[in-house]
Amino acid sequence: MNELALLVGATLSAGTPLAIAGMGLLVNERVGVLNLGAEGTMLVAAVSGFAVAFHTGNTALALAAGALAGAALAALFGWLVIWLNTNQYATGLAVSLFGAGFSAFVGIDYVGRQLVQHGAPSIPVLRDLPFLGPALFQQHPVVYLTMLLAPLTALFLYRTRAGLVLRSIGEAPDAAHALGYPVRRIRLAAVMVGGALCGVSGAYLSVVYTPLWVEGMVAGRGWIALALTVFATWRPARILLGAYLFGGATMLQFHLQAQGVQVASQFMTMLPYAATIVVLVLISRNAAWIRLNMPASLGKPFFPGS
């Protein structure tokens, strides 16, 4: 029983970086821009966050630095694809490769350095509850904030005027432009929010989750987050659930191994992507789903006034 509680707890923390980045990419894609640079953005943010944590010892500051680095890289990406109308897929891939190399380069001096370790955080009183304590109440604050992020994102997208404008730009940028909305500026803002959230996720990995920096340490989590947006059919609550599902699959695999049940870890690595393909097939067979959720202008260039 206690083992199960610990598995739930580990799942929540393993799913957290995926959920944060996935939520950022959701906002990003809802406005009609596809940013394949998530992996590189997360790496740049991870090294920035680690550097700040190393020099200041302040976790909150480190996460903010990660967000800032992510937003800056996203701004560059946004400028390229929104103003220069470069191909979103190619530019995103370039950002990803650039981020991998750049983070490794600036991070050379931080490899193998260590941060001051904090014990496992927990909420007093609640942490002592049987089962629920170890499962839910012994987590880093970011884990709880992430759970809050999903309803907030949903609220913003579906219940505010700004969210409506954002979604309408993702659906029909020409129409939004005709109504007088600054399509490109709003797109840039959304792309930067997406980058900032990817940045928080990257910094969380290098500062909280595995407090160390090493080249390539994001290890594909950016790509899983991208897959997650499709898997969740662009809905915030499903992003959160999907993240815990994918995080849980990894933890479950280790858990089973430790119990002597062998599951090929390669299979688990493949799982998020396989699930994404299945979802893609499903939604492409259901026109209503696509109309409801997938932003119609996703990945398409927009030329105002043309």
Catalog residues that contact another protein under the rule CB under 8 A: 3, 6-7, 10, 14, 80-81, 83-87, 90-91, 94-95, 97-98, 100-102, 104-105, 108-109, 111-114, 117-120, 205, 209-212, 214-215, 217, 219, 221, 250-251, 254-255, 257-262, 264-266, 301, 303-306
Nearer to another protein, 288 or 303 (CB): 303
Q: What distance in Å separates the CA atoms of residue 115 and residue 7, rounded to the nearest whole number?
A: 26
Q: What's the min distance (Å) between Cβ of 97 and another protein? A: 5
Tokens 């394949």 sit on residue: 36
CA-wise closest residue to 32 among 80, 92, 82: 82
Nearer to another protein, 120 or 278 (CB): 120
Q: What distance in Å separates the CA atoms of residue 71 and residue 78, rounded to the nearest whole number?
A: 10
Q: What distance in Å separates the CA atoms of residue 99 and residue 42, rounded to the nearest whole number?
A: 8
Q: What's the min distance (Å) between Cβ of 48 and another protein? A: 17
Could you give the 3-state DSSP secondary structure of residue 264? coil
Could you give the 3-state DSSP secondary structure of residue 111? strand
Tokens 């309408």 sit on residue: 168
Nearer to another protein, 256 or 290 (CB): 256
Q: What does 82-124 look like in DSSP terms, one character per residue?
A: IIS---HHHHHHHHHHHHHHHHHHHTGGGBT--PPPPPPP--T
Q: What's the min distance (Å) between Cβ of 292 and another protein? A: 31
Nearer to another protein, 110 or 234 (CB): 110
What DSSP character marks residue 80?
A: I
Q: What's the min distance (Å) between Cβ of 85 and another protein? A: 6
Q: What's the min distance (Å) between Cβ of 57 and another protein? A: 16
Q: What's the min distance (Å) between Cβ of 19 and another protein? A: 15
Beta bridge partners of 111: 213
Nearer to another protein, 189 or 212 (CB): 212
Nearer to another protein, 141 or 304 (CB): 304
Ramachandran bin of 144, using left for φ above 0, alpha for ψ from -120 to 50, beta for the remaining angles: alpha
Q: What distance in Å separates the CA atoms of residue 35 and residue 75, rounded to the nearest whole number?
A: 11
Q: What's the min distance (Å) between Cβ of 183 and another protein? A: 12
Kindly tell me the burial class for residue 67, based on how many C-beta atoms sit within 10 Å of its own C-beta (0-12, 13-18, 19 or more). Answer: buried
Instruction: State both tokens at 74.
Output: 């996203």
The most distant pair of C-alpha atoms in the chain lies apart, rounded to whole Å, by 63
